Amino acid sequence: MDKYADLQKELVRALTERLLDIEYDLAKRNCFLFDVEIDHHIFDLLSDHLWHKTAFAETISELMKSVADSDVFDRRVRECAYDDLYKALGGIA
């Protein structure tokens, strides 16, 4: 999974930044798994923003070919983004 580390870091950063910008409410969430709204943000960031950065286009294509890698990647992104947002907001309100 280390080959996806740069992509993961950039996606987590972009997702966290976006969620802070829209004032995403953590409410009583303790994770981002099975969250359709987060699905949409991740898809948008991967397909419309990061895909166009040539440094990530090939990595994204490679990631999408492996179900096992993409599942692990998705879980890590969600966990890291949740943790970063939780810290940025000072916990659950």
C-alpha 93 chain-centroid distance: 22
- Amino acid of residue 74: D
Contact 16, 81 (CB under 8 A): yes
pLDDT category at 92 given cuts 50, 70, 90 is low
- Amino acid of residue 28: K
The domain ranges of the chain are 2-20+30-89
pLDDT (tens digit per residue) in 62-75: 888 999 999 999 99
**CA angle, 88 then 40 then 93, to 5°:** 30
pTM listed for this prediction: 0.86
pLDDT category at 91 given cuts 50, 70, 90 is confident
